[in-house]
Structure 1
């Protein structure tokens, strides 16, 4: 909402407060200030000028060379591209040196070779609202050479974000009331005429009282619709509203003055009486903004006896019933609409207006008559006409507030004695509350958020200032909890993955039970940490849609869906991870539900961006993903132990120091084709609790070796089905004290069987031996190495080449 500083001064003298001070007051009171901007003419070098001559530019069809009188005693030449002016018109002229804002300073120069000594301006270019396309045409009686800052008043606009529980602040009166309490200044008297009331009779019928319990109408005849007076235009333009006509402008003025929406109907377009009813299913409505809607039985209409849809209740008027220049008689609507229904209808129809914004947050039902009376009075003043009789009323204004008792003892305790009771009562009074007997306070109808004792204390505290409440306790040391440790570890893992080039994804915890688009084809292929059993899936009792029917048993489906969207956007390299919770029944629903936190990792595509030095970019493989897992647990030995799973290839359990921590797999080629991927996609899912357990403790730093090591290589011929993990397991169990490192550096197979049997493979290992306290002799190394080879041959049945 935009708040005009000049408009606020109609209610409150804030002349001794700077804009920055007001910003601080509102911010610390819980009203967010999103921006502050100045409106009005920005420079005193923008003056009234008259066009004396305009000829075609010799080298540009769309430009004219003008001679203008800017009150300097001689004509000034300016090149202009606008088309809406003629010789003799008075227009704004920015002289050289005029700062139009944003660092745009007018200078003398040339346009297409012709000298231009200034700039003729549109309204929007000098801080005013554009009313026409092109230059701003000024009234004929404006004095030539007079700075526009002396003609158009300047203002400061404060843009505030009002929380949904404070609709009372959605007006200048409400904001003035708030600032009165914050500054301690008294508000200026603001007279609102009283409205005579009469029963609506047959003219107003409420057929949907649950949606509209209170509706009023005022008939005004003989109005003359036209331009609004300058004071009204100035106020509306200051807050960013474009004046339309005097009747509509008054309704907008009262909306931003009192915070209650109004609507004016052309009485000639109403056939008979008004009926506030529910729409018929499929009924059409032509909105004031030009949109055409098909309504449902959940939408509220203001209609007439002929069934014409005059307005969508509380949201927007109809295109066919609005006020225009031909209107002479009007019906002024002021009503209270139930917030929840307005909110629902506004969301469904995608129609939002200043009216719906206020009604859906809860307008003041007791301000219905006041807003109507003020608007009727102002319409008669600016548009003429006569108010026909009393205000017609149907229904009753609901009473939505009740007295709240202020607990004095609790107030003293919570405020720490920083405020006296009289000061606290003064704050509540300035906020519009009325003191009753026995410490009870009458809550005004515009403060629907005040329902408990603590609400009153909160109001006192935020107006008094929390900085004035002294702290009674010093911070004390608290042991780090398990929750803290888990959070810190998860953040560390996220930072590690981000440093490795991965992007974090966040997907919804609800997924489809089976889908061929956004998730893996079947839930059993969702790569859970252990295979799913019948009944393991936790289904939502009342899902919002089929796509949100199951609590995810794995993070992988969501991550695969993220990859699919990026592939279809042309992404060549995929690096994603997601950290979150997964859900399943334990033992097919026979035990309690299990929830566990995991991190899922997906990698695919090019290892590096395409470069001229390489004809073909390297493609990521399973070892790249294994390297990522190793980076998360640098002190652990990571192994992938094969574990077949339907729907995947290259499936494995992830082991860290022989302890299972998760699962790994490559998506099947068929699944990759469904995702439009031409590259293999690898995924892994790791249990965070096990990762944290393995990563806990101090990282030990080993001294550099003092003595040299000696390496030996061995090429083993082994069955093709022998896993590398089995070889590493056998080496580890051999427990050779001198062996400090080993790794596989070559694998050879020959499917043809010419150089090596087809059911065999050759694996080459390098072994490093070292003693911590002496230099080893070659004989010692050879003996240790031979013992290791003998053990591998005996346990694994390998032979050496």
Structure 2
């Protein structure tokens, strides 16, 4: 929402700067997200002054040019070559001095430079109105009638007051502040200053010859409906002051009638709508809902099918407007309009919200109506608009004000206890301070005792209906910054720590896997019994059989995600999909000792190429470490602790690792046995991870461990170890970490070699070791001793040969 600083000053005395007002509003709950300077004329006429033509004669080399000398103030007289036919000595003119930039009404900006024109020096430019962007006329230079001294900035002559726009991030509960007067009401309470609404005492009914009958059939949707007829008006361009007001907050002027309705909307927060009275068939306005599917063409030329909850403003024969949202294409104000019916209503927010969402229509009016407007301001807004239209369009009121308000909206009644104010705010406030704040917020005290206040709250404060709401109002005006932090903190109660949301956590891991190139699959929980008969690692006796099975392929519940996942892998692989990275969250089922058990597991499948072949690199097959890296990232994201690893013992793997937490298996990772892949018609190697999702969820820790970044540098040392083929890197890592717990931070293998040069049963690992002392800089002596100790351990425990 945009608020003009200069516009605010029309209603309340403001001595503070725009930024100070922004800070004040933000501290009170109306968050000003941005303050931006606004120029009513681009460039603000910088470098343009009032000057006086002292002499004027014809240019010797050009009949249409004149040589002038111009006094531009401060004793400066400059020569200027001018092409205007109406220039003459003694004139007061507008002069663009050297260095100024002109922003004409049409065309590109022009920077004024010292120049020679037909051999004569020219140090400036005498301007026409279109050349400085204040009009469109180019009939000649502007000749001013003013007593202002030479050198006076032209901005002062044209009353160009700089403005600022406050961009307020309005929260949904503060519908009352969705206007300049709404913001002024808060400033009244914050600055302890009165504000003044524009007077409407001059409103009078000229005659009642053009009355229009109004019928409100749906009073639930339209609790109050007011209107008046204005005749004998002339629709034309709005005056400059009105256009500037609207342009300052980002609105495009249309004509004097529509601009007035927009002006009052942003002034008071009350939407208005003007209907061309000549297009109101039967001189009747009916407020009602229509049959579902009724077609209606809106102002944007689009035909929309109405819903049964769309409140419509109709004439005697057809709909004219979607109430509170958008006008119709045939009933709006045009240059031919001579009389209007001006509507000012209070609509039910629920109806407007539904209509706005159903038709995807968001307007300034719907923004306010769907949050709740003031039912008590409709008539005042009518009078205010009618007076402005009379002033700007020459219209006169030709009907009495129609005001259909069958059930007036009552004020909210709230009982406020002083003890609750002090308890919730956390500070004992003076009773007079509390009452002063309430009074400044237009909250009336109907009765009071030493312990409590009985309050009456106007209905435009739709968010203040309970005692706690009132206390929040007191606090935001008193100032959050004025509540001191006590020496001892206390609370009325402690909330329980929220339990882990399993769905959110699963979504987090899904996002992690997707970010790493995995695609999620969802497979059938029913599978083939033959799988458990063929492979011993799933027990046929534990199958959960389907009593009324449709086929043998869907005869039992799955005990593992492996086979259904391999079915998907094989299907895609046989259709030339070479990069297969899949995962599935699924439930497995089995029975044991007469009980049925369900377990949630996570399965990962990896096969084929890492990535598609390109001109930059050739395709490369996936390997065990690609899957291992993904599982390690997953465990890190779950913030689990006390993880141990060892070689997997599951028969489905040719090789792999098993991760344990608290001595219980949480994940098994490895290369699937070729016999399994062959049976499933899956060609090539498949890497598979089986994760106990239920147990992993229980181990999840939302608490992150944070420690200070080390001040001292780390050091890297490399070793090349020749070891037996059956020794894994994990064994090397665990042995190293156990031997040096303080300085050794990480161990990594960066090269593996196997060949005849080192023996058929041997392999060579190139391993890096990162050393770091968190309390001192490592010396060569300490580093060498540490590495010697590690080499001795490897030689003793692994019979390793250290290659040097």
TM norm structure 1 = 0.62
User: The residue matched to 2:372 in structure 1 has which SS?
Assistant: coil
Q: Which residue does 1:656 correspond to in 2?
A: 660
Q: State the alpha-carbon separation in 2 of the partners of residues 138 and 146 from structure 1.
A: 23
TM-superposed CA distance for 1:697, in Å, is 13
TM-superposed CA distance for 1:353, in Å, is 0.8
Cα pair 1:92 1:138 within 8 Å, conserved: no
Whether 1:251 aligns to 2:261 is yes
Q: State the alpha-carbon separation in 2 of the partners of residues 218 and 107 from structure 1.
A: 53
Distance 1:31 1:774, change over 3 A: closer
1:68-467 superposed matches below 5 A: 73-75=79-81, 96-98=99-101, 106=111, 137=137, 142-143=142-143, 149-150=155-156, 151=158, 152-188=160-196, 190-193=198-201, 203-272=213-282, 273-307=284-318, 309-396=319-406, 398-399=408-409, 401-438=411-448, 439-467=453-481
Distance 1:369 1:692, change over 3 A: same
Q: Which moved more, 1:3-12 or 1:682-691?
A: 682-691
Distance 1:6 1:206, change over 3 A: same
Q: Deviations over 1:228-259 (max 9, x none)?
A: 22322222122222221111111111111110
Cα pair 2:33 2:168 within 8 Å, conserved: yes
Q: Which residue does 1:627 correspond to in 2?
A: 629
Q: State the alpha-carbon separation in 2 of the partners of residues 502 and 142 from structure 1.
A: 68
Distance 1:315 1:468, change over 3 A: same
User: The residue matched to 1:459 in structure 2 has which SS?
Assistant: helix
Q: State the alpha-carbon separation in 2 of the partners of residues 192 and 661 from structure 1.
A: 77
Q: Deviations over 1:731-752 (max 9, x none)?
A: x9xxxxxxxx99997999xxxx
Distance 1:766 1:31, change over 3 A: same
TM-superposed CA distance for 1:405, in Å, is 1.4
TM-superposed CA distance for 1:618, in Å, is 3.1
User: The residue matched to 2:401 in structure 1 has which SS?
Assistant: strand
Cα pair 1:661 1:691 within 8 Å, conserved: no
Q: State the alpha-carbon separation in 2 of the partners of residues 422 and 684 from structure 1.
A: 69
TM-superposed CA distance for 1:184, in Å, is 1.4
Q: State the alpha-carbon separation in 2 of the partners of residues 138 and 26 from structure 1.
A: 45
User: The residue matched to 1:366 in structure 2 has which SS?
Assistant: coil
TM-superposed CA distance for 1:694, in Å, is 10
TM-superposed CA distance for 1:191, in Å, is 2.2
Distance 1:147 1:666, change over 3 A: farther
TM-superposed CA distance for 1:188, in Å, is 3.3
Q: Which residue does 2:26 correspond to in 1?
A: 27
Q: State the alpha-carbon separation in 1 of the partners of residues 521 and 130 from structure 2.
A: 51
User: The residue matched to 2:329 in structure 1 has which SS?
Assistant: coil
Q: State the alpha-carbon separation in 1 of the partners of residues 110 and 606 from structure 2.
A: 52
Query: What's the Cα RMSD here?
Result: 6.3
User: The residue matched to 1:437 in structure 2 has which SS?
Assistant: strand
Distance 1:253 1:601, change over 3 A: farther
Q: State the alpha-carbon separation in 1 of the partners of residues 295 and 94 from structure 2.
A: 46
Distance 1:183 1:679, change over 3 A: farther
1:730-745 superposed matches below 5 A: none
Q: Which residue does 2:5 correspond to in 1?
A: 5
Count of residues in correspondence between the two structures = 629
Cα pair 1:223 1:384 within 8 Å, conserved: yes
TM-superposed CA distance for 1:322, in Å, is 0.6
TM-superposed CA distance for 1:604, in Å, is 8.8
Q: Deviations over 1:582-636 (max 9, x none)?
A: 9999999x9999999x999898997689897x64043544431213434648963
Q: Which residue does 1:37 correspond to in 2?
A: 36
The structure number with the bigger radius of gyration is: 2
Q: State the alpha-carbon separation in 2 of the partners of residues 348 and 120 from structure 1.
A: 57
Q: Which moved more, 1:687-696 or 1:207-216?
A: 687-696
Gaps of 5+ in 2: 52-64, 73-77, 85-92, 104-108, 116-120, 145-150, 528-537, 547-559, 565-577, 673-683, 707-714, 736-746, 767-786
TM norm structure 2 = 0.62
Q: Deviations over 1:341-385 (max 9, x none)?
A: 111111111111110000001011111111112112221222122
Q: Which residue does 1:520 correspond to in 2?
A: 522
